[in-house]
Amino acid sequence: MVKSMTGFGRAEKQNGKYQCKAEIRSVNNRFIEINARLPKSFIELEQPLKKLIKDHCARGSFDLTLSLEQNGEETADLVLKANLPLARQYAQAFGEIRDALGLTSELDINTLAGLRDLVKVEPFTLDPASGELAIQTVTEALAGLQQMRTEEGGNLHADISSRIDDIEQLALEIRNRQGAVTQEYQNRLRERVRVLTEGIDLDPARLAQEVALLADRADVTEEIIRLGSHLKQFRSLMSQEGPVGRKLEFITQEINREVNTIGSKTVDATVSSAVIDIKSDLEKIREQLQNIE
């Protein structure tokens, strides 16, 4: 069953300390492209998360958004940490100065707050359990996205199959019409030759041979056979699992090639009308294939 490249998935998970939220959106793309918007603390997870998406999806343009909250508030990318070893050294040095000069004042926090490097700014780091939480959350969001892509793929499958049914019916009408078309064309050629050569003696056998050759050039039996083969292959691909969008696009080009040849060779209004209808269906199928994985 074919899958669409359009989808959306969202998930929230928590482990008691953190709450993680993930959203994934995808639209059609000839290849696969993944844009990840992650907190700086998750930067080391960017490649594993992209690989996770690639393991489940073959084509599409993906936008992944991931956030982390702690105690209901979004986690900052940077954290402040006290530089206690340096603070102790400051306190010891001030104590020595106080004792040496016979001072009586005590060292307070306001004094320490004005000193450099007593508070360190460091990147926020996650413990392994929180990293696993992020992977689990994205995996769940990805499952939701895949479900939507599958459901939309079912709708595309139904629409395209209906149009293939139409094309097969039109091709059958063209095939059934071939005998009459050939005979009518031969009759018109004979009449035209008769009018143009009135009063001139012609070899009936030679005339019949030339008429048959011209009529053969307008015969589209081979094209109809190849068209039927392409349509059968198209249906087979539609029923396969996995990404088949590019293969279907190629088969559609081959179908269109045969239809163009039929249209250029035909001399019958009924066949020409059927060709126009087939090309209309093919155009709509091509538009739908742009969104199949």
Q: Assign 84 a pLDDT band (cuts: 50, 70, 90).
A: confident
Written as one string, the DSSP assignment of 119-167 is EEEEE----HHHHHHHHHHHHHHHHHHHHHHHHHHHHHHHHHHHHHHHH
Return the amino acid letter for 79. Answer: V
117 token code pair? 């490097």
Q: Are residues 19 and 119 in the same domain?
A: no
Identify the CATH number of the domain in which residue 62 sits. Answer: 3.30.230.70
- The position carrying tokens 């179908």 is 255
Closest residue by Cα to residue 18 from 136, 119, 123, 121:
136
Phi then psi for residue 275, to 5 deg, are -60, -45
Q: Are residues 25 and 137 in the same domain?
A: yes
Q: Are residues 209 and 265 in the same domain?
A: yes
Q: Assign 235 a pLDDT band (cuts: 50, 70, 90).
A: very high
- Considering the entire predicted model, what is its pTM? 0.71
Q: Please state, for a pLDDT cut of 70, what percent of the chain lies above it.
A: 78
Return the amino acid letter for 146. Answer: Q
Q: Are residues 39 and 134 in the same domain?
A: yes
What pLDDT shows up at residue 206?
60
The answer to whether 148 and 26 are in contact (CB under 8 A) is no
Closest residue by Cα to residue 260 from 276, 240, 237, 284:
276
Per-residue pLDDT tens digits for 265-293: 877 788 889 999 999 999 999 999 999 99
Q: Are residues 21 and 39 in the same domain?
A: yes
Tell whether 1 is covered by a domain: no
Q: Is the dihedral of CA 292, 55, 66, 10 positive or negative?
A: positive
Output the CA–CA distances (angstroms, integers) from residue 205 to 34, 40, 179, 198, 202, in the order listed. Answer: 70, 88, 21, 17, 9
What pLDDT shows up at residue 31?
92
Q: Which helix (H) or strand (E) holds 50?
A: helix 46-56
Q: Are residues 216 and 172 in the same domain?
A: yes
Q: Are residues 206 and 254 in the same domain?
A: yes
Q: Which helix (H) or strand (E) holds 7?
A: strand 7-14
Per-residue pLDDT tens digits for 34-64: 999 988 778 888 999 999 999 999 999 999 9
pLDDT of residue 73 exceeding 60:
no
C-alpha to C-alpha distance for 224 and 226, rounded to whole angstroms: 5
Return the amino acid letter for 101. Answer: L
Tell whether 134 is covered by a domain: yes
C-alpha to C-alpha distance for 89 and 104, rounded to whole angstroms: 19
Q: Are residues 200 and 252 in the same domain?
A: yes
| Percent composition of the chain: helix, strand, coil (DSSP 3-state, to 5) | 60, 15, 20
Q: Assign 23 a pLDDT band (cuts: 50, 70, 90).
A: very high
Tell whether 15 is covered by a domain: yes
228 token code pair? 């039927």
Q: Are residues 52 and 137 in the same domain?
A: yes
Tell whether 166 is covered by a domain: yes
Q: Are residues 187 and 244 in the same domain?
A: yes
Q: How many domains are there within the chain?
A: 3
Q: Are residues 56 and 157 in the same domain?
A: no
Tell whether 2 is covered by a domain: no
What pLDDT shows up at residue 154?
94
**Is the model more confident about 67 or about 227?**
227
Q: Are residues 59 and 170 in the same domain?
A: no
Tell whether 239 is covered by a domain: yes
Domain span at residue 189 reads: 152-289
Phi then psi for residue 199, to 5 deg, are 90, -5
Per-residue pLDDT tens digits for 161-211: 999 999 999 999 888 887 666 666 666 666 666 666 665 665 566 656 655
Q: Please state, for a pLDDT cut of 90, what percent of the chain lies above it.
A: 48
Q: State mean pLDDT over 245-256.
A: 95
C-alpha to C-alpha distance for 256 and 278, rounded to whole angstroms: 9
